[in-house]
Amino acid sequence: MAERILTGIKPTGQLTLGNYIAVLKNLKKTNERGECFIFIADLHALTLPIDPAVLRQNSIDLAAFYLAAGLDPNKSAMFLQSSVSAHAELNAIMQNYLYMGELSRMTQFKDKSAKLKENAIGLGLFAYPVLMACDIVLYDANIIPVGEDQVQHIELTRDLVNRFNNRYGNILTMPKAELRKVGKRIMSLSDPSVKMSKSDPKGDVFLKDEPAVIRKKIMSAVTDMGCEVKYDPENKPGISNLIQIYCAMKDIEIPEAEKLFEGYRYGDFKKAVADAVIEELEPFQNRYKEIIANKSYEAVLKQGAEKASKIANETLKRIQKAVGLLQLD
Ligand code: ATP
Ligand code: MG
């Protein structure tokens, strides 16, 4: 089966190096592999309180970042989730095929709801994986590039596909998570026991940070006891995180980096990591600034929504028919 690739990011905050490594770094290559659907998950961004002006600005930024990463509008459809109404329509159907017990086991829900007052946890935060499953199945996507934290949601989507297809026939396409070999979970630079996250920034490298700020953040990243640059996430979580970042930037594997940094002091190693990140992000930031200035993302988003809607509406019809919703045309 040909590759249908789908990936999205929520415009919940400033994009981080974790998001870059999971999705943006490979976007150009992803474009060359098959048909791509790249979206701004703005409906998902409403699952936690967010200021409307901030959400709008984050959405623009994200569109510009996708383009700066090398998204080719002729090969990919780039669109806002909210401008393809089939996502919300399918959600109304699919919420009946995932169960509350399953949803309450999702670690992301547990983590994010733990930070809220018990009487202010939105239903959307709980039901988030249902909408995410809809995002995926609407495009018959089979490859979903994500970071490790999203694997549990993709597994749930796979359960849904199985459940739905067992009941109605072969209606939905089975998706698969695709993880980077190195850099599946980039950790906070100030606390390597927690994931770098844009909605809860703590030791994050932001894609908009000036090179001098990036350097400062990496140079002051938490390291560990000892002095060897060795990959050992359990005993050396700080250094292991920096090794992952270096490998992801250079597209190399961990043993190669360990060999490269044999005999290095932590300070010199950190300098090399900072250089690698800046070397990668500086030209990317310049492209982003150009795109923001010329607003080329606007036309791309409109064209993307048209292409995505056409495909999503066809899938929606197929599903509506399968479950017994009367079709009058
Ligand atoms: P939020 O805090 O709003 O959940 P986030 O930084 O987790 O923000 P998402 O929009 O949830 O970002 O995820 C976008 C993509 O980035 C997903 O594929 C996710 O798995 C990936 N991702 C997020 N954080 C990291 C990280 N620290 N390391 C690797 N991948 C990540
Ligand atoms: Mg997240």
Cα(197) to ligand 2 centroid in Å equals 6
Q: How far apart are CA 107 and CA 80, in angstroms?
A: 26
Catalytic positions, written as ranges:
112, 195, 198
Kindly report the protein residue whose alpha carbon is nearest to atom 13 of ligand 1: 9
The CATH architecture assigned to 4-183+295-323 reads 3-Layer(aba) Sandwich (3.40)
Q: Which CATH superfamily is domain 211-290 in?
A: Tyrosyl-Transfer RNA Synthetase (1.10.240.10)
**Hey, how many other C-beta atoms are within 10 angstroms of the C-beta on 251?**
13
Q: How far apart are CA 130 and CA 96, in angstroms?
A: 9
DSSP letter assigned to residue 151: H
The reply to whether ligand 1 has any atom less than 6 angstroms from the CB of 189 is no
pLDDT at 202: 82
Q: How far apart are CA 199 and CA 50, in angstroms?
A: 10
pLDDT at 1: 65
Q: Where in the chain is the domain with CATH 3.40.50.620?
A: 4-183+295-323
For the chain, 329 residues long, the average pLDDT of each consecutive 10-residue run is: 91 96 94 94 97 98 98 95 98 98 97 92 97 98 96 98 98 97 95 90 92 96 92 96 98 97 96 98 98 98 98 98 93
The reply to whether ligand 1 has any atom less than 6 angstroms from the CB of 111 is no
The reply to whether ligand 1 has any atom less than 6 angstroms from the CB of 146 is yes
Nearest of 22, 321, 272, 60 to residue 148 by alpha carbon: 22
pLDDT at 79: 98
Q: Where in the chain is the domain with CATH 1.10.240.10?
A: 211-290
**Hey, how many other C-beta atoms are within 10 angstroms of the C-beta on 288?**
21
Backbone dihedral angles phi then psi of residue 66, each to the nearest 5 degrees: -60, -45
The reply to whether ligand 1 has any atom less than 6 angstroms from the CB of 14 is no
pLDDT at 200: 77
Q: Which residues of 156-177 are buried (b: 16+ CB within 10 A; e: fewer)?
A: bbbebbeebeeebeebbbbbeb
**281 contacts: CB under 8 Å, gap ≥ 6:** 20, 207, 211, 214
Choose which residue among 143, 152, 197 to substitute to test ligand 1 binding: the one with the highest number of ligand atoms within 8 A of its C-beta. Answer: 197
pLDDT at 97: 98
Evaluate whether 249 touches 280 at the Cβ level (below 8 Å).
yes
